[in-house]
Amino acid sequence: MAGHSKWANIQHRKGRQDAKRGKLWSRLSKAIIVAAQTGGDPTANFRLRKAIDDAKAVSMPKDNIERAIKKGTGELDGGSLEEILYEGYGPGGVAILCEILTDNRNRTAPEIRNLFSKSGGELGKTGCVSYLFERKGLAVVPTEGNSEEQLMELAIEAGADDVKQSDDLFEITCEPESFSNLLDALSAANIEPESSQLMRIPMDTIDLDVDVARKVMKLMEALDDHDDVQSVSANFNIPDEVMAELEESAS
């Protein structure tokens, strides 16, 4: 799991900005539609409940949420979305996974392939890099106002694997089947995660130098900005001194 923190933290902070964009509502609507395909009752469908909570957290209108649920259950047209996992390699041999929700894979596939190619990477075959990742639940909690010892105790009791601090955030990981219990335990303790999601975490990482890190970050951001991409995971680590140089050059 070591090393995913830099990109995760960048995503969390980027998410604060994305929350102001209407594009995020479109991404969340797709998540609701797909979740509702297995049942429109959020009390019995954790994935749907989580998708609705995420939508409410960025002030998506109730009508939009209800319309997305109806599309997923088939009450309205427009719910034909396909889940696809694209795998490939970025600059420096970095392994990258893209979770996609699309209504037209014939459109999406060449667009994603083009983003990889433009960066000097390559979209690969199914299974080429997914074995390098573990699927985990991740809840990110601010360090301010939260005790690491108390958070650790609460999280472990709820089935979490680990609690680690990264900068001003605590990262709590768990197996996917414990994710619902973890979020419920945090809610009961009045602890509001800054973000929470099921994601693919690398089992090992590649340290990047400044030049490769800049190229990888450009590709990661381009993929993350694509309308059909729900999440992006990769197995790189940016050492602190490299991150400092990147931030200095960007300022």
- Give the pLDDT confidence score for residue 15 in this predicted structure: 54
Block residue for tokens 């009045």: 190
- Give the pLDDT confidence score for residue 243 in this predicted structure: 86
Tens digit of pLDDT at every position of the chain (251 positions): 334 445 555 555 555 455 555 678 888 999 999 999 999 999 999 999 999 999 998 889 999 999 999 999 999 998 789 999 999 999 999 999 999 999 999 999 999 999 999 999 999 999 999 999 999 999 999 999 999 999 999 999 999 999 998 888 999 999 999 999 999 999 999 998 988 988 899 999 999 999 999 999 999 999 988 989 998 999 999 988 988 888 888 76
Domains of the chain: 5-73 (1.10.10.200), 82-126+205-250 (3.30.70.980), 132-202 (3.30.70.980)
Q: Residue 65 to residues 23, 24, 73, 196: CA-CA distances in angstroms? A: 15, 13, 13, 19
- Residue 113 CA to residue 159 CA, distance in Å, equals 38
- Give the pLDDT confidence score for residue 102 in this predicted structure: 94
- Starting from the edge strand earliest in sequence, which strands make up the sheet with 160-166, in order? 160-166, 169-174, 133-142, 195-202
- Give the pLDDT confidence score for residue 13 in this predicted structure: 52
Of 101, 108, 55, 57, nearest in space to 82 by CA: 101
pTM of the full predicted structure? 0.82
